[in-house]
Chains A and B, each alone.
Chain A
């Protein structure tokens, strides 16, 4: 009997999720034993036309990392969706847009302007810009259309499972693949490879639920942090209260605030506004002017609120009209 087929793909991604797959070490051998890997641009030499030639539903599992930022990525997402039975949004980018979706603070024109004209490292006297179609002596060259907005995978195709993390921690990756191999699948729409609480609940730091913050501080400007106490209560923005557990408190155990890479905690529809409420809750003042001053010590609330989740946030992108 032929083995079940597995496809892996990267769209608007950094490659970190791909590396995390390789980090499963010898478990990759079990995976290769169980599955026939039929598509994996980063690891194996299969082309798009190989996928196009497959029957619909022929692939059991597709692990799709990266967000959707251009037409090619949308096209491949739709193609793989047709060919696979189980689509897993693999990592923060596929789940909610991830880091690439921070580009939703701008649009295509602004991004191109920065990347090709105004960035200090750019030397582009001819004002060359990428074109979707270019005629050269050998024929026509094409590039995919770059969208104004970055989308999460489920904003383009239906997704069975969401696997959070930037990237997902290795043990969780192994557990998810083993679950699929066991055939005992959770209900569609589930978050897999993560916990059901918040990062705070797996954080080793002491938290007192007190209001003590008179100013928020950037981590690199603090030299007096108590390593045993909650970072947020010491004025360092930590996304733990709004973020799903599952990483084991990786960052907070090593003196780094949580950035929120496991996405919204269970029952939270918007990770960013949840974090905003948590930040407000530690402010030590009942005077509106003083509250304003304390809030002004946070330069970029949007960046903290939606570092990994602009695409799936309530407002998705900044306004482009009016």
Chain B
């Protein structure tokens, strides 16, 4: 059987982490191609709604990367994300989504190698967890059969 290839959505802050990811590319570092990067202004822009929506729409893992603490271009953005993160994980766990499927990392513009490592490690971890497959949870109600309908006369 073919190896399961996880689909990972990565929200990357444009100032540090997206530049770091770019550097990984221009340095020709090798890392798994499983990540769909989405550039955001700041990790603090990553509303928990984005995370649940990624899972609902088929992601197996969600990676959020921002500037190191103290380096956020909007001062508090990465701290805001850091405060949301454990709550989001706890909420996901209640939905039966392993909390390890969402990860928060600080990656600076010069850390192309670190970005490549994080992606490799995370892809590996998600591969072990297996597919999430949320679509069946969103299925419509079963179609009714004429005889199973109760009609009080």
A residues with a Cβ closer than 8 A to B are 47-49, 52, 68, 71-72, 74-75, 105, 132, 142-145, 147, 149, 151, 155-156, 269-270, 272-274, 276-277, 279-281, 283, 285-286, 288, 291-292, 295, 298, 300-302, 305, 313-322
Contact status of A74 and B141, CB under 8 A, knowing A144-B148, A283-B83: yes
Cα A319 to Cα B133 with chains together (Å): 9
The one of B83, B132, B140, B150 in contact with A143, judged by C-beta atoms closer than 8 angstroms, is: B150
Cα distance A313–B92 when bound, in Å? 12
The B24-78 residues at the A interface (CB cut-off 8 A) are 47-49, 51-53, 55-56, 69
| Chain B residues numbered 99-153 whose CB sits less than 8 Å from any CB in chain A | 130-134, 136-138, 140-142, 144, 148-153
A132–B138 Cα gap in the complex (Å)?
25
B121 CB to nearest chain A CB (Å): 19
Q: Mark B74-96, 1 if CB is under 8 A from A, else 0.
A: 00000110111111101100111
Contact status B49-A286, CB under 8 Å? no
Contact of B148 among A145, A147, A155, A281 (CB under 8 A): A145
**Nearest-neighbor residue (CB-CB) of B139 within chain A:** A149
**Chain B residues, CB < 8 A from A155:** 140-141
Q: Which of A144, A145, A280, A305 contacts B80 (CB 8 A)?
A: A280
Residues of A close to B90: CB separation below 8 A:
295, 298, 301
Task: Identify which of B56, B91, B149 contacts A276 (C-beta below 8 A).
Answer: B91
Which chain B residues lie closer than 8 Å to A291 at the CB level? Answer: 82-83, 85-86
A272 touching B141, Cβ below 8 Å: no
Q: A48-B152, A72-B149, A155-B140 are in contact. Are A322 and B130 (CB under 8 A)?
A: yes
The tally of residues in B whose CB lies under 8 Å from a CB in A reads: 42
Assess the A302–B86 pair: CB atoms within 8 A: no
- List the A side residues contacting B86 at CB < 8 Å: 288, 291-292, 295
Bound complex: CA A97 to CA B50 (Å): 22
A320 and B95 CA atoms in complex are apart in Å by 9
Judged by a CB distance under 8 angstroms, whether B23 is at the interface is: no
Which of B133, B134, B144, B148 contacts A315 (CB under 8 A)?
B134
Q: Out of A147, A273, A283, A288, name the residue touching B141 (CB < 8 Å).
A: A147
Specify the chain B residue showing the minimal Cβ separation from A287.
B82
Tell me the complex Cα distance, A47–B152, Å: 7
Please state if B151 and A105 are interface contacts (CB–CB under 8 Å): no
Partner of B56, one of A68, A298, A314: A314
Given contacts A72-B149, A288-B86, 20 further A-B contacts (CB under 8 A): A47-B152, A71-B148, A74-B144, A132-B148, A145-B148, A149-B137, A270-B53, A273-B51, A274-B48, A276-B48, A276-B88, A279-B87, A280-B83, A281-B80, A288-B82, A291-B83, A302-B91, A314-B56, A319-B137, A322-B133
Residues of chain A lying within 8 A (CB to CB) of residue B56: 314-315
Q: Given A291-B83, A315-B137, is A277 in contact with B48 using a C-beta cutoff of 8 Å?
A: yes
How near does chain B come to A102, taking the closest CB pair, in angstroms? Answer: 11
With contacts A143-B150, A144-B150, A269-B49 known, is A276 near B87, CB below 8 A? yes
CB distance from B141 to the nearest CB of A (A): 6
24 inter-chain pairs at a CB distance below 8 angstroms, sorted by A residue, are: A47-B152, A71-B144, A74-B141, A74-B144, A75-B151, A132-B148, A145-B148, A269-B49, A270-B49, A273-B51, A273-B91, A280-B80, A283-B83, A291-B85, A295-B86, A295-B87, A301-B91, A301-B94, A305-B91, A315-B95, A319-B95, A320-B96, A321-B136, A322-B132
Residues of A near B47 (CB, < 8 A) are: 273-274, 277
Q: Are A280 and B84 in contact (CB under 8 A)?
A: yes
Rounded to whole angstroms, the CA-CA distance of A144 and B97 in the bound complex is: 31
CA separation between A91 and B95, bound complex, in Å?
A: 25
Contact of B87 among A142, A280, A320 (CB under 8 A): A280
B49: nearest chain-A partner, CB-CB = A273
Q: Judge whether A144 and B149 touch: CB under 8 Å.
A: yes
Flag if A314 contacts B53 (CB, 8 Å). Answer: yes
